[in-house]
Amino acid sequence: MVATYNSSGDFTIDFTPNPDAIPPQNIEIEESVLGGILLDFACIHRIKSRLKPEHFFLNSHRQIYKACLAIAKKVYQLTCCK
């Protein structure tokens, strides 16, 4: 969204999506969430239904979270299916 004044002084708003715009993100919060998972791995079961890998801005954080989800799934299978 871009708001401008044209040559006649009229205020206009352009709602055309800007592909160069950076989406909202907070790297420090992403790091805190991942750190919390690593400190208390059981918490992943409380957040996995609401937090998806695509919610992370950095690809490296998405990959770490995907790995945590995969480990949690394997641990669940090992402990529940003995």
Cα-to-chain-centroid distance, residue 60: 11
Q: Are 68 and 56 in contact (CB under 8 A)?
A: no
- Tens of pLDDT along 19-78? 777 777 899 999 999 999 999 999 999 999 999 999 999 999 999 999 999 999 988 777
Q: For residue 54, what is the DSSP state?
A: G
- Tens of pLDDT along 38-54? 999 999 999 999 999 99
This prediction has a pTM of 0.69
Is it the case that residue 81 has pLDDT exceeding 80?
Answer: no
